[in-house]
Amino acid sequence: MKNYKRLSLGQRYQIQSLFNIGLSQTKIAEQLNVHRSTISRELKRNIPKRGRTAGSYLCEHAQRKTDLRHSAKPKRISLDDPLKKRIAGLNDL
């Protein structure tokens, strides 16, 4: 199983600054010591295509959208002993 790390707000501030001065995605990835596809996905997800901020990356908006995505994500339920007993009791009905 692979271990994934989310970008921090500080890293998003760096992405915003480096993106605004015109650095390429590869150079931004090198600066942050992450894979270039991480930067590519981050920009693709968080640069609006229309509206007031179209075409610009705003780190606060990106962080808010990320938090919303992760809070809405289905959570894994661990089967501990009390839960197993409860499930087994339901099967007896």
Residue 49 domain boundaries: 9-74
Higher per-residue pLDDT: 90 or 57: 57
Tell me if 92 is assigned to some domain.
no
Tell me if 4 is assigned to some domain.
no
Average pLDDT, the chain: 89
Domain at 53, CATH number: 1.10.10
First-last CA distance in the chain: 38
C-alpha 43: how far from its chain's center?
11
Q: What is the pLDDT of residue 87?
A: 83
Q: What is the pLDDT of residue 85?
A: 85
Tell me if 67 is assigned to some domain.
yes
- Band of the pLDDT at 76, cuts 50, 70, 90? confident
Domain count, the chain: 1
Q: What is the pLDDT of residues 22-60, one digit of tens each?
A: 999 999 999 999 999 999 999 999 999 999 989 999 999
Tell me if 42 is assigned to some domain.
yes
Residues 6 or more apart from 87 whose CB is under 8 A from it?
Answer: 79
Tell me if 58 is assigned to some domain.
yes
Q: Distance of CA 37 to CAs 27, 41, 52, 60, Å?
A: 12, 6, 27, 21
